[in-house]
Chain A
Amino acid sequence: MTDTGRVTWIAAAVLLGAMAGGALVQNASDAVRLSGQDQHELYVSSPNVLRRLCLGYTGLMADIYWTRAVQYFGYQHHRQSGDFRLLAPLLQVTTQLDPHMLPPYQFGANFLAQQPPNGAGLPGEALSLLQYGIQNNPDQWRLYYNLGFVYFTEFKDYAKAANAFALGAKLPVTNEFMPVLAARMAQHAGEFDTSRMLWYTAYESSKDPRVRQNAVDHLLALRVDEDVTRLEELVLKFRQRTGHNPANMGDLERAGFIRGAPVDPNGKPYRMTTDGRIEVQDPKAIPYITKGLSHPVADSPLRPSL
């Protein structure tokens, strides 16, 4: 082998070896450096300072901050940490850098409004975000829809929810469900039906497959919540009639309350406990359910999400 050839081979081997070694050392140092500490920090939280630092290229900066907010929410949600302290500031920076960018209002409000571990549990911040969004984009019906959604699901404030839906319904470009939702809110009509309509509207009005799948998950969860509520009402009726709880679904069937064993959306039969509660067999397979859990959730049956 010539001198040049030898040098080429040695240099190539050193290059690859150093690259691989560098990656290994970096992984090892990450394990030491990052273990047990949250890497997320918001070093610049002032939109005005950021606007100046990026020399007026605010659109790209807003995109970057929105992507950061999505990644941050996804990361904390995946970890089930319940720590969403940076979510509101990230969304605030995003929307102030680009007040006409709609996804941060639509999805960000839901990220904020949900209770931990699914969200930040900051419905007040969600309202502020949406109100800022409406102030800057008064012709966007989706923002009124999201506002009504948060009022309904988080605050049970039917009057304000009805007002938000009604305002959205009056816009030149709106959704056909908006006036119906406004009317339902005004009447305090059936909660399950109203929630179903809200999630159906969310499904219909988005093209993003993840958003649509999320709406489907919520619709399925609503079906479970409704099934469990209805079955527990039947258990109560059975008790009132016979003086004791039914031992199983068969007792309800024999008493003529149901026909066949009711099943959840995954086809698994509901289970009845000795004290007459109804449970789903595999709650993890049906996200967002609030009823039919082994440890029932005491508060609202309807939790909003993405």
Chain B
Amino acid sequence: MNSRIRLVAFNTFREAVRDRVLYNLIAFAVLMSVAAILVGQISIDVERLVVVNLGLTAVSLFGVVIAIFIGIGLVSKEIERRTLYTVLSRPVRRWEFVVGKFLGLTGTLVVNTFFMAIGVFLALLYVAHKFERADYSVLAALYFIVLEFVIVCALALFFSSFSTPIMSAVFTFALFAVGSLAEDLRAFAKAATGFTSLIATALTHVVPNFAAFNVINQAAHGDAIPARLILYNTLYAVLYSAMAISGAVLIFQRRNLK
């Protein structure tokens, strides 16, 4: 990675920390502690299930919200504060700026997820009193969640490269929602006929398939996550985010910043 991209990425991370993004960890810690202690009293025999389900769902949703709300402001904020002109007047190319921003936000989310993962495992230790082999699948689920963040960051950045922050948030969240229901869209495409089928099939390829990254249920039940799925999901996340970032670069390159 060239030093300019690294600098932009590091500054993006530092700005996010300065914006108190990591404060969400406190809310997460409280959530996990309360769940771990209370669930045994209000339910029957599902302590581990709840800790894994709630923990991973919270990691995923907290991260997606952070990715959307920070991602949409990455470009517009710099324009609004006029700091973008200072950055671009230095030997930083536009594509380097976009890629650096993307990597900085992704890095923030990885750090955030790392601390949350520690919280999930501590809560798991509290309810189960030991770690089991099945807990490996929780790690795989966390990895998939990080891949999901990579795509959401890329999408947020893509939309923010040409739209207003509010509209970018709406577009990104809408894609996240549709992508989470990608299996339904695929089923619809299969069931439909003619032109509708054509459009639906095209949509299934454009919309990110977040459903494939959701293995929270399997992790909660301690089911093994196939190595091939890990490989395919990694490739898919890299390709999809590359597609979105390339789109963002293409638009940002041509954007009139005056």
Contact = CB atoms under 8 A, between A and B. Distances in A.
A106 B216 CA distance: 23
Interface in A98-152: 98, 100-103, 106-107
A107 B45 CA distance: 10
Interface string B42-61: 11111001101110010011
B54 A60 contact: yes
Nearest to A137: B221
B214 A57 contact: yes
Interface string A178-218: 00000000000000000000000000001010110000000
A55 interface: yes
Contacts of B44: 66, 70, 103, 107, 208, 210-211
B15 interface: no
Nearest to B183: A56
B181 interface: yes
B49 A57 contact: no
Contacts of A103: 44-46
A208 B46 CA distance: 10
Contacts of A59: 49, 52-53, 57, 216-217, 220
A67 interface: yes
A60 B56 CA distance: 9
Given A55-B180, A55-B181, A66 B43 contact: yes
Contacts of B60: 57
B49 A63 contact: yes
B125 interface: no
A52 interface: yes
Nearest to B43: A67
Contacts of B176: 55
Contacts of B50: 60, 63, 67
Contacts of A29: none
Nearest to A208: B45
A71 interface: yes
Nearest to B216: A59
A59 B51 CA distance: 11
Contacts, number: 68
A99 to B, nearest CB: 10
A101 B49 contact: yes
Contacts of B177: 55
A174 interface: no
Nearest to B182: A56
A39 to B, nearest CB: 17
B210 interface: yes
A281 interface: no
A77 B54 CA distance: 28
Nearest to A52: B181
Contacts of B43: 63, 66-67, 70
A276 B191 CA distance: 72
A175 interface: no
A71 B42 contact: yes
B184 interface: yes
Contacts of A102: 45
Contacts of A101: 46, 49, 221
Interface in A58-77: 58-60, 62-63, 66-67, 70-71
B45, B57, B214 — which one has the most chain A CB atoms within 10 A of its CB? B45
Interface string B172-189: 000011001100100000
A139 to B, nearest CB: 13
B207 interface: no
Given A66-B46, A71-B42, A101-B46, 4 more contacts: A52-B181, A55-B181, A63-B50, A103-B44
Report the 6 A-B pairs with minimum CB-CB distance, sorted nearest first: A59-B53, A55-B180, A103-B45, A67-B43, A59-B217, A60-B53
Interface of A: 52, 55-60, 62-63, 66-67, 70-71, 98, 100-103, 106-107, 206, 208, 210-211
29 contacts: A52-B181, A55-B177, A56-B210, A56-B211, A57-B53, A57-B57, A57-B60, A59-B53, A59-B217, A59-B220, A60-B53, A62-B53, A63-B49, A63-B53, A66-B43, A66-B44, A66-B46, A67-B42, A70-B43, A71-B42, A100-B217, A101-B46, A101-B49, A101-B221, A103-B44, A107-B44, A107-B45, A211-B44, A211-B45
